[in-house]
Chains A and B, each alone.
Chain A
Amino acid sequence: MKFDMPATTNPIDQLKVIGKATERIDGPLKTTGTAPYAYERHDVAVNQAYGYIVGAAVAKGRIESMDLTAAKAAPGVIAIVTAENAGQLDKGNLNTAKLLGGPAVDHYHQAIALVVAETFEQARSAAHLIHVDYERAKGAFDLAIAKNSSTPPKPGFGGPPDSAVGDFVGAFESAPFQFDATYTTPDQSHAMMEPHASIAAWNGDKLTVWTSNQMIAWSVGDMAKTLGIPKENVRLISPYVGGGFGGKLFLRADALLAALGARAANRPVKVALQRALMMNNTTHRPATIQRLRLGATKEGKLTAIAHESWSGDLPGGSPETAVSQTRLLYAGANRMTAMRLAVLDLPEGNAMRAPGEAPGMMALEIAMDEMAEKLGLDPIEFRILNDTQVAPDNPAKPPSSDPQSKAPEEKHYPHPPFSQRRLTECFRTGAERFGWNKRNPVPGKSREGHWLMGIGVAAAFRNNLVMKSAARVRLDNKGVVTVETDMTDIGTGSYTIIAQTAAEMMGVALHQVVVRLGDSDFPVSCGSGGQWGGNSSTSGVYAACMKLREAVAQKLGFDSTKAVFADGQVRDGGRSTPLAQAAGESGLVMEDAMEYGDLDKKYQQSTFGAHFVEVAVHASTGETRVRRMLAVCAAGRILNPKSARSQVIGAMTMGMGAALMEELTVDKRHGFFVNHDLAGYEVPVHADVPHQEVIFLDETDPISSPMKAKGVGELGICGVAAAIANAIYNATGVRVRDYPITLDKLIDRLPEVA
């Protein structure tokens, strides 16, 4: 089914199931510990052996020698996989660095060996007996230095590296109010709770991997490519994913090494990446240096906007696209953006929740706060004054935003209108609910005992992407509808919204729907990423259900355009038949995909919001506590308000981490992230997080899809950190432009304690 015209009224609009706050259908399994995650599949293959990964101890260089003698002789050891004995290996399309290093080492903790043994304890113990001599090479580890040799990256997900509208330089120079500041965001880690884990089993030349992965089809492709075997011989199964946030978008070392280990050991092998390896072995959100320049009239109209961003990655890698939102968020006739990419020999940088916008908004939305103050304007009014209903700067996109697509470039629209844009309403609604008018605009003036109190605001913005997604639906003779798609549920609530969609479409109760996800034997979905999963995967289910409805109607001799599916019955005029009966003994199966025309080119599809935060900063120690948080979101139809709200509060929590504590500390001499575990890399815990409130504006977006929905999972993180930074400024009068805002950056600049 192709979606190339705005949606009209369709069965989803009945809203009998869709749009209702619904408990997750996988809840009873997850809360009882019976949802099986990858490493836990004792049931799927007998005689599983244990693999333990050895990570490189240098950031860059060569393995001169690797002595496996002691490890091989250690109790229980079955096999040891290294690059030397693994046979010819290619590299996945979506991997920047090889997943099994050696003799060349590309980054610290790159996997260089897998020890396979009878037990975990034996594998771990033997892994420590491997002796490796390295020849250490010089590497670039400091972005501030590497920045000077950075170059324009290839166009990618975030569009071309440069864009320009009007005459920025001229407009900026002549602007009565100018602002120019540089911000930094650090390297961050996904730090999902479930480590990357896989069990691999070979049956002849066929490989099955039970794994934890967001994008099944991408990773089937890259597993096949890496091993040099046909795609048809690879099956990935990933029904439960213990968090991803972008860290499980790709094939990673656990899966590849489990496959290689299983081949070497001639039996199934299970591998979980050790927590202490995760942060250097896998991908991370790259650090950025961002310069913002704003020029405005004395009334507060932006006339000039420039956003430049520098980030680094391994050779062949990609930039953190931190300027993306600045092309779209505020009006302004003269503007430019630029991204530059430096070569760094740190671990691979890649997508983490809202790549581009999350760090980009961290800088832009402080700059807007600073500019508002300079202009003597309320920060909300300043933003509303510069609202726009058309995309101000929409440079021609590269041929396709899908890295695996070869589709030709389509017509370019330089200033498409937004399909929906209710940013102003988000601010107004939030201001009223949060008590914005109680905020003292003069910083450092509100006290509660030892605490300096402050309120801050920031816009939330994240693009809405639509992706082709397929599903198969089966109706059996009991009236049970089974949906199969390789879509994943990484905590996003896919199981439930897919069940809701099928229930709504087929007119059955939620408990009459069975959802099976995350298996490459199922039709290829959009996968979980870029906050496109909810809208796109349910649209695929919509397409398949449409076909099934037609098949049912046809079988009954009903007019498919008039047939009503409700309460487990199909009705046409005066005739009514139970769905179960219509399916017949053999049942009915239909499969379809939703594909998209150019509505996402003719219209700019984005999601909007406003974050409000109240903080208390200790007047003596500079410790920041977040007291209240509110997000107001305008993101199309909310399919399941319960899980959507959870997505947003989770994103707000991660944004709080970015504001206050998250930073992978780079050892600039040896080139690795020092704090590579959950003790050193701090993330928010219960004690950090207050009650969080979320408001969804009542909205549908018929331009987006037949579901009229968009994404929220990433919108929720965009802008939170800046809102906190702005609240800290409001509390203390101290402006910190280098994240995270830890107390050492405040303490010597706090107002005198009275």
Chain B
Amino acid sequence: MHNPENAESPRGATDLTRREFLIAGTATVALTGCMGLGTKSATEMKPQQAAATRVSFHVNGKPCQLELDNRTTLLDALRERLHLTGSKKGCDQGQCGACTVMVGDRRVVSCLTLAVMHEGSLITTIEGLGTPEHLHPMQTAFVKHDGYQCGYCTPGQICSAVAMLREIKAGMPSHVTSDLTAQPKLTADELRERMSGNICRCGAYSNIAEAITEIAGRTA
């Protein structure tokens, strides 16, 4: 089995660095957290004796500062530290898309990127798109077209769909785009190809495609 611990460089060489990280981290404990987001204090969750780094990014428009075990994925930082559990962990291996969030305008599977790599990033999660009382148009369309069943892939599908439409607008081609220099259009093939990183085992695809098509038509 792959062992991330054993894969590290020999002990001793990195120990000092770790301690330094920790000292630096402890000194700034009071400052960590996320403005306006319910979060555990850093002391409560502080990893012991593991390399830790302080990272600052924006989540749904709010500045956050966290001291994190370097091994923490962006997904776990969101779910376990910031308690933003809308982003789902379906596989933790980059295979399902349930953890899709937006970094800037780009879709990212947040289980496949470490949180500490996101210094300064502008991150949008499903919670940043809409609330049950004020749904984002894509969320409304998913409800209307029943583009979900169990709901577990759904936040990822919605984040992916919103970013996917932006990607098309920005002229990014996909595997099925025949003319790489022309402005891509949201054909059924383009939609299905571009959404294929988001698995829905409940099989709501046909309905999801209808929801996205409705929104694309509106924003085109």
The answer, among A23, A32, A192, A645, for a CB contact under 8 Å with B130, is A32
Question: Separation in Å of the A165 CB from the closest CB of chain B?
Answer: 37
A406 → B minimal CB distance (Å): 33
B32 within 8 A of A: no
> In the complex, what distance in Å separates the CA atom of A37 from the CA atom of B154?
13
Q: Is the CB of A34 within 8 A of B5?
A: no
How far is B87's CA from A362's CA once the two chains are assembled, in angstroms? 36
Among A19-49, those with CB < 8 Å from B are 23-24, 26-37, 39-40, 42
Instruction: Report if A646-B204 is in contact (Cβ < 8 Å); known contacts: A129-B5, A686-B198.
Output: yes
Would you call A669 an interface residue if the criterion is a C-beta within 8 Å of the partner chain's C-beta atoms? Answer: no
Which B residues are CB-close (under 8 A) to A26?
151
Report the nearest A residue to B91, measured CB to CB: A275
Q: A31-B143, A686-B196 are in contact. Are A275 and B151 (CB under 8 A)?
A: no
Asked if B66 lies at the interface with its beta carbon under 8 angstroms from chain A, I say no
Contacting residues, chain A, for B123 (C-beta < 8 A):
none
A120-B80 in contact (CB<8A): yes
Assuming A32-B127, A643-B146, is B93 touching A276 (CB within 8 A)? yes
**Contacting pair A121 B47 (CB below 8 A):** yes
A23 CB contacts on chain B under 8 angstroms: 143-144, 146
Which residues in A have their C-beta under 8 angstroms from that of B92?
Answer: 274-275
CB neighbours (8 Å) of A687 from chain B are: 192-193, 196
Closest to B203 in A: A653
Q: Select A193's contact among B86, B98, B191, B197, beta carbons within 8 Å.
A: B98
Q: Which residues of B contact A241 (CB under 8 A)?
A: 150
Q: Would B202 and A75 count as touching, CB distance under 8 A?
A: no
Cβ contact within 8 Å between A491 and B202: yes
Q: Total A-B pairs in contact (CB under 8 Å)?
A: 229
Cα A572 to Cα B126 with chains together (Å): 49
Q: Which residues of chain A are within 8 angstroms of B126 by Cβ–Cβ distance?
A: 32-33
- Give chain B nearest CB distance to A215 CB in angstroms: 16
Main secondary structure of the interface of A (DSSP, over half): loop
Q: CB of B205 within 8 A of chain A?
A: yes
Output the least CB separation between A218 and chain B (Å).
19
CB proximity of B41 to chain A, nearest CB, Å: 12
A686 to B204 CA separation, bound complex (whole angstroms) = 9
CB of B17 within 8 A of chain A?
Answer: no
- Contact between B47 and A122, CB atoms less than 8 A apart: yes
For B91, B144, B152, B158, the residue with the greatest tally of chain A CB atoms inside 10 Å of its CB is B152
**Across the interface, which residues of A come within 8 angstroms of B56, CB to CB?**
none
Q: Taking the complex as formed, is B217 at the interface, i.e. its CB lies under 8 A from any CB of chain A?
A: no
Shortest distance from the beta carbon of A721 to any chain B beta carbon, whole Å = 14
How many angstroms from the CA of A31 to the CA of B5 in the assembled complex?
38
List the A side residues contacting B6 at CB < 8 Å.
128
Docked complex Cα distance between A493 and B146 (Å): 10
Q: Which of B147-161 contact A (CB under 8 A)?
A: 148-155, 158
Contact A193:B207 (CB < 8 A) given known A24-B146, A118-B48, A689-B192: no
Given the complex, which residues of A lie within 8 Å of B143, measured CB to CB? 23-24, 27-28, 31
Q: Measured between C-beta atoms, what is the minimum distance from B137 to chain A in Å?
A: 11
In the complex with contacts A75-B50, A194-B90, A121-B206 CB distance below 8 A: no
Contact B88 A686 (CB under 8 A): no
Chain A, residues 637-656, CB within 8 Å of chain B (1/0): the string is 00000110111011111100
Kindly state the separation between the CA atoms of A381 and B103 in the bound complex, as whole angstroms: 57
- How close is A414's CB to chain B, nearest CB, in angstroms? 38
User: How many residues from B make CB contacts under 8 Å with A?
Assistant: 73
Chain-A contact segment, one of B71-79, B165-173, B178-186: B71-79
> For residue B152, which residues in chain A have a CB less than 8 angstroms away from its CB?
37, 192-194, 242-243
Asked whether A193 lies within 8 Å of B96 as measured between CB atoms, the reply is yes
Complex CA–CA separation, A627 to B2 (angstroms): 42
The chain A residue sitting closest to B189, CB to CB, is A687
Given A275-B90, A687-B196: A28 in contact with B135 (beta carbons within 8 A): yes
CB <8 Å contact, A491 and B50:
no
A672-697 to B contact mask, C-beta < 8 Å, 1/0: 00000111000111110111100000
Q: Which B residues touch A678, using CB under 8 A? A: 90-91, 93, 95-96, 199
**Across the interface, do A32 and B86 meet the contact criterion of CB distance under 8 Å?**
yes
Once the chains are docked, how many angstroms separate the CA of A190 from the CA of B125?
28
For B188, the chain A residues whose CB sits under 8 A away are 691
A75 in contact with B49 (CB, 8 Å) = yes
CB-based nearest B residue for A39? B89
Q: With A76-B48, A193-B98, A647-B149 in contact, is A245–B201 under 8 Å at CB?
A: yes
Determine whether the beta carbon of A31 is less than 8 Å from that of B50. Answer: no
Q: Is the CB of B203 within 8 A of A40?
A: no
A274 CA to B146 CA in the complex, in Å? 29
Which residue of chain B is the closest to A25 with respect to CB atoms? B143
A26 and B132 alpha carbons, distance in the complex (Å): 10
Chain A CB within 10 A, most for which of B3, B6, B90, B192: B90
Q: Do A243 and B201 touch across chains, with their CB atoms under 8 A apart? A: yes
Query: Residues of A contacting B57 with CB < 8 Å?
Result: none
A–B Cβ pairs within 8 angstroms, 30 of them: A28-B135, A29-B151, A30-B151, A31-B154, A32-B130, A34-B132, A35-B151, A39-B85, A74-B5, A75-B50, A118-B48, A121-B69, A128-B1, A128-B2, A128-B5, A129-B5, A192-B150, A192-B201, A193-B90, A194-B88, A240-B151, A242-B88, A491-B150, A642-B146, A646-B207, A649-B206, A653-B203, A678-B95, A679-B93, A686-B205
Since A75-B47, A692-B206 are in contact, a sample of 10 more A-B pairs with Cβ atoms closer than 8 Å, ordered by chain A residue number, is A37-B88, A119-B69, A120-B80, A121-B69, A193-B200, A244-B150, A491-B148, A687-B192, A691-B206, A691-B209
A-B pairs with the 6 shortest C-beta distances?
Answer: A33-B86, A653-B203, A242-B152, A491-B150, A491-B149, A30-B151
